Amino acid sequence: MATNIKAKKKKGSYDNKLIIWLSVGLGALVAVIVAIALIITLSSNFVGRVNGKKIYTYEYNHFLREAVSEEYNANFDDFKPENYDDMTDEEQNKVFDNFFTDERKAKCEENALEKAREYKAECIIAKQKGFGLTSSERAAVKSNIDYYISLYMNYGYSQESATYLMTQGAMTLSEYKDFMIQQSMIEKYKNSLKETYDVSDAELKTEYDKEPNDYRTVNGRVFQFKLPTLPAQPKNSEGTVITKEMAEKEDAPAADKLAYEKYEKDLEDYKKQIENYIVLAGQMKEAYDKGADAKFTLYDYDMLTLTPKKAKNEAGEETEEDAVLEKDATFELICTSQSSFTLNGSAASTTKGVVNVNNNTSSGVEKINKYMLRAQWNSSRDGFVFDPEETEEESEAGTSSETADAKKAAPSAIEIIEVRDDDDNLTALYLARVEDIKDFDSDSDGNEDGLNAVKRTIKTTVLEDKAVADLKAQVEAGGSKYDLKSTKRKALDKIMKEVMG
């Protein structure tokens, strides 16, 4: 038995040695494979270098997508054929492919490489200036990104979709976090530069005058009528639309004739109601244009006749009194209680019909935006005049006996705004007026800096422009040190193919 145990021990020793030799050999093989994979990865994970620092493929991917988007937005509308919207997806894709010629692709690549070069140079400069992020700042950037990912997921997006929304498909979530850490480092340095700049009132005014509607805000109020729905043309039992010609045929089915007769009656009633809504709009305008405190009584109308319905008693029986929706209502009250207008999902009962409009903030209705943005203060800043360039008739300005004080300015005259479809059917009807304008010359809002909100916004823009120009000058001052070198043609082509689809 001892011999047998000894023999087994010898066999065991042999097996263990064999396993060890195999493990060592296999480990060496794995190490070689990993080393080769690492070499391939490290040699293909960048598209070029700036001052010895890699421009990673995901960084370039981001800037290329940005360049492609800019090229598309700037030129595609002039390129696409008139019938583009009626094309099939396949036909539209072909137009898109034809738009991005080799020349356009080369232009996008050039722009993307330049942006990536400047970005990498700015990262180097910010780091050298001592503005690298601390570990807590880096963690905060990552945590903030995770927060937005979770926010998207709370709205029903999958993790994959949420990540795409953040990264726009240019990189993984981990890469995006690294990218944003680098961007945050640049912003940290720029913020330090901004603290060294002085901005004069003249500089603010120069920036404002480039495009005032980017900064000033026109405040107004909107009332929307609840219009009837355009009757839909009837269809027969086979689902075919019944035309007038079809309904008038002698052998037309009786059901089709009745359906079309009903449609014609409904259409006639609809048109009459629309006419009366326009008349009612005129009546309300006439009443409210009498002054800032003017009032109007809105009845519950039978819109076919524009006559008030009769009020009902507790038993539901009609009385001799007219049914009133709002009695002696100011424009503010009627915009709050009787309007169908909504703004960003909020009903008029919440917003009171108030809208604030500039180039970056919309009322949700393009015609209202255009009307509001035509408004200017009069010379006394106690009422409003309207730029006549975009309309044949200039709206009259409100007037006031008060001194020049924006807070006491009279509102403008009411504007009736009609929105119609391509068939000239009225789809929406509004009453709108301007009540205030916050612009460059508005009073300070009481903050320590002595600026109003408009000037403060402009100052933010001016400081950003100065910091961007300063950092760009530092990159240029570096000369050849920040040139793009060691570009990888295969990597560039691969990313272009990925982005263009």
Q: What is the DSSP letter of 401?
A: S
Contact in structure between 189 and 471 (CB atoms under 8 Å): yes
Task: Tell me what percent of the chain is helix, strand and coil, each rounded to the nearest 5.
Answer: 55, 15, 30
Closest CA to 116 of 183, 39, 70, 23: 183
Check residue 11 and give its pLDDT.
39
pLDDT digits (tens, 9 = 90+) for 297-327: 999 999 999 999 999 999 889 999 999 999 9
Q: Specify the pTM.
A: 0.77
Q: From first to last of its 501 residues, what are the pLDDT tens digits of the chain?
A: 333 333 333 334 444 444 444 444 444 444 444 443 333 444 469 999 999 999 999 999 999 999 999 999 999 999 999 999 999 999 999 999 999 999 999 999 999 999 999 999 999 999 999 999 999 999 999 999 999 999 999 999 999 999 999 999 999 999 999 999 999 999 999 999 999 999 999 999 999 999 999 999 999 999 999 999 999 999 998 899 999 999 999 998 999 999 999 999 999 999 999 999 999 999 999 999 998 889 999 999 999 999 999 999 998 899 999 999 999 999 999 999 999 999 999 999 999 999 999 999 999 999 999 999 999 999 999 999 998 754 434 444 443 333 344 456 899 999 999 999 999 999 999 999 999 999 999 999 888 889 999 999 999 999 999 999 999 999 999 999 999 999 999 999 999 999 998
Map 4-55 to HEC letters.
HHHHHHHHHHHHHHHHHHHHHHHHHHHHHHHHHHHHHHHHHCEEEEECCEEE
Closest CA to 56 of 223, 184, 171: 171
Give the Cα separation of 311 and 269 in Å (integer).
23
pLDDT digits (tens, 9 = 90+) for 148-195: 999 999 999 999 999 999 999 999 999 999 999 999 999 999 999 999
Distance (Å) of CA 442 to CA 259, 263, 339: 61, 55, 30
CA dihedral sign, ordered 51, 52, 53, 59? positive
Phi, psi of 149 (to 5 degrees): -60, -45
